[in-house]
Amino acid sequence: MLFRFSLRFGGPISLFMKRIALFPGSFDPFTKGHEDIVLRGLKLFDEIVIGIGRNANKARYFPLEQMTRLIEGAFRNEPAVRVITYDDLTAHFARELGARFLLRGLRNTTDFEYENGISQVNRYVYEDVETVFLITSPHLAPISSSIIRDLHRYGQAIDEFVPYPMEEPVRTEV
Ligand code: ADP
């Protein structure tokens, strides 16, 4: 197929294809570190899809629907950014979206060790996908979702770490 051929060998048609990147993650919550990766990624890609992975085995602090709405609010003036939740292998979801790039952020060597393995597996599953890593901006390197969750859980204000007005987690279960 010409489409696949041009993708694999970087032929002329691929130059005219929209460059869509999938930025996958848990985003529990989405932080200013994540926002920085998206804003810098917009200089490289035509469209960025923020994909919030559903993980049935992992309870979330901020429910998916709430986090989707908050992230959409943060990018309401940025038409090249979409937010979608998914329940599939990241590589399968990227192929379904027509995304040839996965966008990830690297803060330190621990991130690198983890990301290295994941990116190899993603190319095994979807050989045309390339993972693009952006090194975190130094002032945002200490921010992680797990630290933000802990601060919030114990009543510490976290507004300066997230790109939207923070809310209490919406509890749906009774
Ligand atoms: P996951 O559960 O897949 O690790 P996260 O929501 O924790 O998802 O992170 C998504 C991506 O954002 C990962 O590539 C992670 O390394 C990156 N990331 C997280 N925090 C930051 C930050 N402060 N600066 C840059 N990248 C970050």
Cα atoms in the 13 Å half-sphere on the side-chain side of 16: 4
Average pLDDT over residues 106-120: 96
pLDDT in tens, 128-147: 999 999 999 999 999 999 99
pLDDT band at 16 (very low <50, low <70, confident <90, very high): confident
**Which domains are seen in the chain, by residue range?**
17-161 (3.40.50.620)
Containing 50, the helix (H) or strand (E) segment is strand 47-53
Average pLDDT over residues 105-125: 97
Residue closest via CA to ligand 1's atom 27 equals 105
Which of 61, 104, 113, 162 for mutating ligand 1's site (highest number of atoms within 8 Å of CB)? 104
Q: Which residues contact 144 (CB under 8 A, 6 or more apart)?
A: 31, 33, 107
* Entry pTM: 0.91
List pocket residues of ligand 1, CB cut-off 6 Å: 25-27, 31, 33-34, 37, 104-105, 107, 111, 136, 140, 143-145
Q: What is the pLDDT of residue 8?
A: 54
37, 134 Cβ separation under 8 angstroms: yes
In angstroms, the Cα distances linking 104 to 11, 59, 66, 114, 164 are 26, 22, 22, 11, 21
Between the CA of 30 and the centroid of ligand 1 the distance, in Å, is 9
Average pLDDT over residues 6-33: 82
CA distance 27 to 12: 36
* Helix axes 90-97 and 109-125, enclosed angle (nearest 10): 60
